[in-house]
């Protein structure tokens, strides 16, 4: 659906193929919106609207290069819309700018239902934010990727203004479209892309460069910020027992093949 135009973000090449995919995405969103409308109408007609919590969310960003299956912002940012008419602050088109993580969804839903949050839950309820109460906003968000189409372990940490990405594999920085799951997604091709690989780490100033186009990891002016984010990510990986700290993560087929090979 390109009836209202198509905006191509800077991390994608503006080609006919890219615009077509974005138009198809917009058409899918329009269809989804109409179907959600049917659900809301049914709740209203059945008398269940006031006490039904409706949640719309996604598990990752859009299915485009440098978005889905990455730890760049277009891949980590997700939709989250909640509606509970009987509870003030949970309806009426209110927007919040506080950083939250998808691990916060579970404790927030439990809070809304009046259920105790288990101590083992790592997320933080954002129900107080919606209720207008005392809410301590997150100052840092973590992201991770290990496998999708191929082994490409990456970890990230971001604050309101900066982001660090650590790459644990020499995976190609650019996947040829013929090998991509979306061959019509045209991303910006780096020079000598066949030999281009991830750097060990990347640093971005999100306040000035929200599309993460300029890597500042080697800029001495950002040494202190780089060190702070590195310490935060290291602590998080240690506290969550991230298996990458012990070495490369083998895929399930590796374990199956190894078990078969060692049989006597």
φ and ψ of 223, to 5 deg = -60, -45
Which residues, 6 or more positions from 173, have their beta carbon under 8 angstroms from its beta carbon?
Answer: 190, 193, 196, 197, 198
Q: What is the CATH number of domain 141-248?
A: 3.30.1120.10
Q: Where are the domains of the chain?
A: 16-131, 141-248
What is the reported pLDDT for 222?
A: 97
Q: What is the pLDDT of residues 148-163, one digit of tens each?
A: 877 889 999 999 999 9
Q: How many whole angstroms separate alpha carbon 244 and alpha carbon 118?
A: 27
Q: How many whole angstroms separate alpha carbon 225 and alpha carbon 164?
A: 9
Q: What is the pLDDT of residues 192-243, one digit of tens each?
A: 444 467 789 999 999 999 999 999 999 999 999 999 999 999 999 999 999 9
Q: What is the pLDDT of residues 54-78, one digit of tens each?
A: 999 998 888 888 888 889 999 999 9
pTM assigned to the model: 0.85
């Amino acid at each position: 659906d390109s009836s209202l135009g198509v905006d191509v973000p800077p991390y994608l090449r503006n080609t006919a193929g890219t615009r077509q995919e974005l138009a198809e995405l917009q058409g899918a969103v329009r269809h989804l919106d109409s179907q959600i409308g049917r659900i809301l109408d049914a709740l209203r007609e059945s008398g269940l609207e006031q006490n039904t919590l409706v949640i719309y969310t996604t598990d990752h960003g859009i299915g485009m290069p440098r978005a889905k299956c990455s730890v760049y912002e277009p891949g980590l940012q997700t939709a989250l819309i909640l509606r509970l008419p009987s509870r003030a602050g949970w309806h009426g088109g209110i927007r919040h700018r506080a950083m939250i993580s998808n691990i916060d969804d579970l404790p927030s839903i439990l809070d809304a239902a009046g259920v105790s949050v288990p101590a083992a839950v790592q997320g933080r309820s954002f129900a107080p934010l919606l209720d207008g109460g005392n809410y301590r906003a997150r100052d840092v968000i973590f992201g991770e990727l290990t496998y999708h189409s191929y082994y490409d372990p990456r970890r990230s940490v971001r604050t309101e203004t900066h982001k660090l990405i650590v790459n644990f594999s020499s995976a190609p920085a650019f996947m040829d479209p013929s090998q991509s799951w979306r061959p019509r997604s045209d991303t910006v091709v780096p020079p000598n892309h066949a030999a281009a690989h991830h750097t060990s780490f990347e640093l971005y100033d999100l306040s000035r460069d929200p599309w993460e186009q300029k890597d500042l990891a080697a800029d001495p002016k950002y040494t202190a910020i780089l060190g702070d984010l590195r310490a935060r990510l290291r602590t998080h990986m240690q506290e969550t027992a991230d298996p990458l700290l012990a070495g490369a993560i083998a895929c399930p087929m590796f374990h199956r093949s190894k078990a078969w090979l060692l049989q006597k």
